[in-house]
């Protein structure tokens, strides 16, 4: 038993001591009152009696499911004959056993099936019997529908009675089994939704998702898997494309993110059961414009007020402080005000996401080994330039806590320097807060300089519009529950538009990168011992300027890489490590020699620029390559084909480049050549993959690093020295130098990758569309599609992305949520509590 401060030990020791004759007690105590060995023996006996007493108390507590230890739950469940779901956590199993009798008394009813779904999966659920949504011809045994049903009764009372019995639609008034009544705009918008009031022809297909739902024997179980997170008093972003209209977006990064409804209230307890089916505003789904119009009694829709008796129970969906709202477009997360705000404008709203991952307004108790708080804590609040002034004053051994969810638009100040490097710094968000660090001038850098054994922790922060630079030496750098904006891709290549989208205020939504580099004043201290990333969303992680990381460990996270530019012309933004590229081009290997010779032929100034660049000091190398070198690279891309089978034999080439090589071979056999655009794409691909850390667009590109991925979704390429991956998704081309070390186990990987040995993994075609969305900010970002397994092209027999993790869950960043196991457990329980003859059809609403 653990040591408890319950006083039992001293109580029983004192009782035993008082039972001893006084002569022995007196002889055991010296003249100073110090007890002797007899008292020590009695104390030890008293401690063991306390252990027995606690065991007896636990036996009493273990008789109740509410107070028993976790190990007792299966035994109590066995007494009740509960069919326990093994993949539930102890809290879920405790609830399952506690409500067994409650479930059995209501067995076979829609209410208990809906409540079971909520209890077992933890998601909001709505259950609909498929036969009730079938269109059919009414017969003489059917009850009358319409005003003639009860000729002598009040028509309003008749309508309410028919609606309560499900014979007419609550919003549309359409008769059961009949034609759709489209006079209610909101009622019509609910067609094919969980709250559909229309009727459908029978579908004989096996129910799967949104197909084959309507049939006599089908029970439709609608599940909302996304979670609705509340952001309290955040800073909106003004829409500059609508001057004079005073429009804003709720999202503080400037994206148009759809608003979500609040989750339902907690379910009733078994002691006082009052479960009722959820209504359409009680589910954590998107807030539809038609529902918002009906709730606010605006537009042409009949209002909800006379139709829903508990209309007043609708909780607030959003709030704007500092101005009067004139219009709201919830599907775009956008609103307009009647006047310019007189002071600080703040918004409260909800957004949807599959899990508590990245920076968010939730308790970060899921983060493993919470960091210690070094130095004196500095509290920052108020947004604006507050962090700009407070962070430098905190020093190099400090804890900085941001206690609100406002936007900090000031320049992100450097922390530490070559002369005064970081010792131990923690910058964190307060509990349940989501501050956004978004400098007014995007494209800057937030520099942290360490001195060898430095400790740096960033916890719960959202960084947008600024790279993070880890300069110098660090023993450990930890990013926990952070969002380093991965950017948003723009229009398709060839459209003439920028490769990244723009925010509402016109700022580019470019990826924010984490760079690891050496300190120019101390070139030997450019190593990070451990880079630990947990439950975060990141843009690219890269090394440059002699920087290195020994071990990079990423768990339960999403990492994404987007291109900086498109087209055949290189720019300075396309060269991620100028120093490494210069050294690579001037190296002595055959490929570098040929490329250098071609570069000299096409642009003689480029070779001179490379030599001058390498001859300069490391401090000057912190800048980019000379313009002559950038122009020379563009000349290489637009010149003749660079491909030579012997030269590129040692380079790991992706399937895209290999396809272009095959196309060039077919063209050569036919006596023709590739068109200029295709040839430029081939040459650029060859250059990028010859120098993946220096030039290649990637999510992870680190030199001489051992990368360890556990439950990670990587949306982009990987270039690393060694790789160990478990329960992860590597969607793009991955090139590993040392394929003899490491292992890729229970993962999905791009089929053209150069990887170490694979175990129970699935090969997918590069860039396969396996996610609901790969655009950060959208509710389904990195959430697996139900058809993800159709992208598998090889790998282990029977491998799966949806259930292919080691524990039977899905692969990727949301593996730890155990979503497939929750559904499996729900089907196990439904086999016991469903009416005979019905088949459950799981429908994922979100």
Cα separation, 132 vs 680, whole angstroms: 60
Opening angle at CA 749, ends 748 and 753, nearest 5: 165
The 3-state DSSP class for residue 819 equals: helix
Average pLDDT in the chain: 82
Look at residues 694, 655, 445, 675 and name the one whose alpha carbon lies nearest to residue 570. Answer: 694
State in Å, rounded, how far the first CA of the chain is from the last one.
Answer: 45
What DSSP line would sit under 259-294, residue for residue? -BPPPPPPPPPTTS----PPPGGGSSSB--HHHHHH
* pLDDT tens by residue, 257-302: 999 988 876 554 444 456 677 888 888 888 888 888 777 766 545 5
**Token pair of 449, please?**
């300089």
- What percentage of the chain's residues is helix, strand, coil (to nearest 5)? 25, 25, 50
Percent of the chain with pLDDT over 90: 19
Residue 444's pLDDT is 84
**Token pair of 274, please?**
């009052």
Question: How remote is the C-alpha of 431 from its chain's centroid?
Answer: 18
Residue 486's pLDDT is 92
Domain spans of the chain, in order of start: 8-61, 227-353, 376-564, 572-690, 722-813
Residue 241's pLDDT is 81
Check the CA dihedral 368-374-377-380 and report its sign. Answer: negative
* pLDDT tens by residue, 385-423: 888 888 888 888 889 999 999 999 888 899 888 888 889
Going across the sheet that includes 227-234, the strands are: 227-234, 346-353, 319-321
The 3-state DSSP class for residue 39 equals: helix
Look at residues 697, 732, 746, 738 and name the one whose alpha carbon lies nearest to residue 720. Answer: 738
Look at residues 753, 235, 127 and name the one whose alpha carbon lies nearest to residue 464. Answer: 235
Given its phi and psi angles, is residue 383 left (phi above 0), alpha (psi -120 to 50 degrees) or beta? left
Residue 289: count of CB within 10 angstroms of its CB: 18
Low-confidence ranges of the chain (pLDDT < 50): 1-2, 268-272, 300, 366-367, 495, 619
Q: Give residues with Cβ within 8 angstroms of 364, minimum separation 6.
A: 370, 431, 459, 460, 480, 481, 535
Residues recorded for the chain: 846
CA distances (Å), 1 to each of 50, 52, 90, 91, 562, in order?
A: 10, 9, 20, 22, 54
Residue 670: count of CB within 10 angstroms of its CB: 8
């Amino acid at each position: 038993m653990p040591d408890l401060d319950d006083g039992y030990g001293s109580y029983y020791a004192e009782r035993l001591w008082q039972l001893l004759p006084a002569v022995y007690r007196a002889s055991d105590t010296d003249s100073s009152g110090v007890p002797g060995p007899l008292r020590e023996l009695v104390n030890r006996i008293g401690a063991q009696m306390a252990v027995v007493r606690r065991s007896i108390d636990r036996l009493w507590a273990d008789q109740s499911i509410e107070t028993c230890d976790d190990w007792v739950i299966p035994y109590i469940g066995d007494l009740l004959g509960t069919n326990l779901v093994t993949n539930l956590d102890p809290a879920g199993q405790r609830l399952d056993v506690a409500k067994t009798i409650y479930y059995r008394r209501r067995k076979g009813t829609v209410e208990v099936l809906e409540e079971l779904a909520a209890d077992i999966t933890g998601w909001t659920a709505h259950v609909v019997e498929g036969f009730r949504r079938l269109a059919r011809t009414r017969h003489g045994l059917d009850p009358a529908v319409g005003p003639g049903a009860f000729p002598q009764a009040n028509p309003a009372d008749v309508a309410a009675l028919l609606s309560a019995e499900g014979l007419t639609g609550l919003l549309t008034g359409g008769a059961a089994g009949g034609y759709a009544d489209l006079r209610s705009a909101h009622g019509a918008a609910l067609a094919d939704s969980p709250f559909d009031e229309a009727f459908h022809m029978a579908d004989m297909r096996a129910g799967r998702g949104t197909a084959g739902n309507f049939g006599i024997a089908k029970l439709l179980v609608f599940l909302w898997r996304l979670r609705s997170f509340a952001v309290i008093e955040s800073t909106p972003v003004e829409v500059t494309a609508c001057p004079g209209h005073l429009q804003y977006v709720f999202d503080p990064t400037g994206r148009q993110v759809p608003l979500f409804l609040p989750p339902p209230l907690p379910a009733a307890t078994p002691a006082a059961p009052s479960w009722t089916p959820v209504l359409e505003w009680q589910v954590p789904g998107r807030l539809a414009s038609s529902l918002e119009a009906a709730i606010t009694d605006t537009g042409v829709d009949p209002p909800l007020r006379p139709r829903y008796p508990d209309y007043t129970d609708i909780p607030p969906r959003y709030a704007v402080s500092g101005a009067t709202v004139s219009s709201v477009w919830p599907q775009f997360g956008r609103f307009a005000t009647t006047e310019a705000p007189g002071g600080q404008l703040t918004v409260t709203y909800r957004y949807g996401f599959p899990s508590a991952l990245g920076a968010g307004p939730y308790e970060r108790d899921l983060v493993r080994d919470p960091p210690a708080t070094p130095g004196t804590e500095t509290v920052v609040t108020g947004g604006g330039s507050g962090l700009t002034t407070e962070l430098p004053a905190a020093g190099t051994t400090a804890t900085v806590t941001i206690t609100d969810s406002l936007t900090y638009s000031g320049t992100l100040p450097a922390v530490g320097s070559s002369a005064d490097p970081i010792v131990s710094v923690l910058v964190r968000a307060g509990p349940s807060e989501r501050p956004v660090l978004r400098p007014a001038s995007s494209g800057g850098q937030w520099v942290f300089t360490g001195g060898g054994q430095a400790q740096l922790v960033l916890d719960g922060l959202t960084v947008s519009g600024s790279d993070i630079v880890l300069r110098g030496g660090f023993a450990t750098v930890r990013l926990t529950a952070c969002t380093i904006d991965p950017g948003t891709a723009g229009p398709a290549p060839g459209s003439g538009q920028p490769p990244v989208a723009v925010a509402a205020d016109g700022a580019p939504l470019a990826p924010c990168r984490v760079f690891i580099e050496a300190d120019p004043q101390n070139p030997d201290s450019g190593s990070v011992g451990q880079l630990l990333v947990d439950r975060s969303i990141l843009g690219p992680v890269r090394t440059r300027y002699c920087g290195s990381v020994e071990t990079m460990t990423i768990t339960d996270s999403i990492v994404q890489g987007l291109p900086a530019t498109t087209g055949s012309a290189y720019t300075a933004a396309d060269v991620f490590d100028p120093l490494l590229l210069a050294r690579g081009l001037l190296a002595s290997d055959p490929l570098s020699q040929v490329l250098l010779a071609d570069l000299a032929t096409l642009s003689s100034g480029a070779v001179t620029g490379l030599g001058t660049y390498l001859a300069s000091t490391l401090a000057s190398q912190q800048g980019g390559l000379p313009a002559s070198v950038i122009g020379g690279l563009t000349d290489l891309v637009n010149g003749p084909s660079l491909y030579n089978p012997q030269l590129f034999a040692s380079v790991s080439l992706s399937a895209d480049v290999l396809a272009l090589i095959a196309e060039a071979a077919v063209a050569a056999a036919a006596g023709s050549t590739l068109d200029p655009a295709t040839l430029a794409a081939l040459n650029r691909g060859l250059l990028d993959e010859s120098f993946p850390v220096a030039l290649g667009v990637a999510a992870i590109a680190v030199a001489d690093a051992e990368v360890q991925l556990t439950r990670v979704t990587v949306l982009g390429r990987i270039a690393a020295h060694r790789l160990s991956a478990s329960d992860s998704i590597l969607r793009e081309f991955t090139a590993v130098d040392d394929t003899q070390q490491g292992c890729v186990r229970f993962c999905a990987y791009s089929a053209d990758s150069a990887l170490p040995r694979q175990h129970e993994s699935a090969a997918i075609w590069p860039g396969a569309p396996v996610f609901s969305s790969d655009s950060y900010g959208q509710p389904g970002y990195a959430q697996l599609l139900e058809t993800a397994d159709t992208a598998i092209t090889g790998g282990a027999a029977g491998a799966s992305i949806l259930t292919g993790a080691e524990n039977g869950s899905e692969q990727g960043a949301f593996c730890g949520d155990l979503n497939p196991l929750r559904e499996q457990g729900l089907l196990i329980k439904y086999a016991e509590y469903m009416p005979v003859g019905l088949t459950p059809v799981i429908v994922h609403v979100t």
